[in-house]
Structure 1
Amino acid sequence: MENWITRGVAAICACGSIALFWTFGVFLAVPWRENRMGSLSGVEWQVLGVPLLIGLAVTWGALHILAIADRAGRPRLYRVICVALAIASVLAVLSGMAWTGERIALARP
């Protein structure tokens, strides 16, 4: 029972990290489309950096919490979940970028 509670907490943290990566993708879309990633202002760096860094920290925390439940007892499952979380994080960034891109396309006449 304790392992399921630990896995549940890790899943909640993982969902939060995916939401932060989606937010990162939302804010990354505009400078990426305009090809000005090398000339971002200080505010834009903050807007991009905060969800990225906090998302990485929350993902790291989720994996550490999950390791308490599964790393020793089920190492293969733990590795599969790590890879799945990495893939989900990348897809969340791409999804956020697509969401913003769609809004930009709809706003232009």
Structure 2
Amino acid sequence: MSYPYELGGETLWEAGYHSGRLYASLARGAAEFVKLPTGLTPTPQGSCDIELSTFRAFVQGLYTLYSSTSSLVIHGLARGLLVTSLVLLERAGAPITLKPEHEEALREEKAAFARSMG
């Protein structure tokens, strides 16, 4: 069973059911914290539609939180959600700009995540 993330009928991530639902849950919690909507809408068919401009703003807000602190706890809590979101944005053709001090490490993690996200 899967939980696909779709943009305009194109599947950006054919997530496994559990990983897809966990990602959506984490995004909802982070959205509440950064006070931005996620742009992710579950469908009755068991997938998740992405509204790109809203999702991009959410990921930018998440990255702003991540990049504005040196807290290892916040970095650790936010990193998996952020990296997964960055992969989805890249697949949608709408990446955000990362600060030079984060670019290399996040690029390596994005590549690793992208391979495991199929």
Give the TM interval when normalised to the shorter protein: 0.3 to 0.5
The two structures have a TM-score, normalised by structure 1, of: 0.37
* Bigger RCO of structures 1 and 2 (CA < 8 A, at least 6 apart): 1
TM-score in terms of structure 2 length: 0.35
- The structure with more helix, counted as a fraction of residues: 1
Give the greater-gyration-radius structure (CA): 1
